[in-house]
Structure 1
């Protein structure tokens, strides 16, 4: 049995977080590859997070925020 799909509002927030990550990365003038290397995560995983296709683990969010030099709250704000 496939896993249940999250509600649409959760998917919308996931896309919003991905957008905040992409914006912070672009503000830092860093490529996805560069950020993935700095954060120690797979580039494809980062791409899926930025696109909102994958949920980011808390550890990944912490690594991304640290690699960008921004507070974690900057990436998950309302």
Structure 2
């Protein structure tokens, strides 16, 4: 659900990260910035700097783990049964 007011700080970074795979337009909308991509980008950059994150693009917020799942090349390693833990 899209935020009714523009998010700030860690909430903005978390929301942007959760929507980064869908692109900047969707992320801005979900984070409460509507179609104002410039303000969204500026506020996201500020929030990342406050958290000591070096992020130049929205796509950099996508974690390696998420990228592996998206590509479908990850391999799940687990025992066959609970008794084989």
The structure, 1 or 2, with the larger RCO (C-alpha pairs under 8 Å, 6+ apart) is 1
Query: Whose Rg is larger?
Result: 2
* Both structures adopt the same fold (TM-score exceeding 0.5): no
* TM-score, length of structure 2 as denominator length: 0.31
Higher helix content, 1 or 2: 1
* TM-score, length of structure 1 as denominator length: 0.33
